[in-house]
Amino acid sequence: MRRRKARLDSLLREVIGEVIRDRVADPRVSSFLTITEVDVSPDLRRARVGVSILGSQEEREVTLRTLQNMSKFVGTEAARLVTLRYFPSLQFFSDRRIEEAARLEELLRQANYTG
């Protein structure tokens, strides 16, 4: 079951990314967006979708809010690309790990430089 869930998470990550890239034409959605992870619930009814968005704080907030509002559209379009009995409802969240890793790397670089 674990392997199946991991495969489903990976498949949905690819498909949702494709839908956002190719079928979402809303200018409020940043083009500098990466789907970092998808975590499908054990009952396969819900999926948390982590997104990393490059840009200002305002751009990130607007993009995330727009994706949350478009979650049904994105889910419907993604469901057309995969065969599942039930397509999970999508919940987008901001994944700040990439941003935090870059910040940590910069802090380490500065500490190395001054140390």
Q: What is residue 105's predicted lDDT score, i.e. its pLDDT?
A: 87
Question: Does residue 66 surpass a pLDDT of 80?
Answer: yes
Q: How many domains would you assign to the chain?
A: 1
Question: What confidence tier does 115 reach under pLDDT thresholds 50, 70, 90?
Answer: low
pLDDT, position 114:
64
Per-residue pLDDT at 16: 98
pLDDT tens readout for residues 10-29: 999 999 999 999 999 999 99
Tokens representing 109 are 């670089």
Q: Which two tokens stand for residue 66?
A: 């727009």
Average pLDDT of the residues of the chain = 92
Q: Counting Cβ atoms within 10 Å, is residue 63 exposed (0-12), middle (13-18) or buried (19+)?
A: buried
What's the predicted TM-score (pTM) here? 0.85
CATH of the domain at 83: 3.30.300.20
pLDDT at residue 108, as a whole number: 86
**Which residues, other chains included, contact 47 with Cβ-Cβ below 8 Å and sequence gap of 6+?**
9, 12, 38, 39, 40, 41, 88, 89, 90, 91
Range of the domain at 31: 2-114
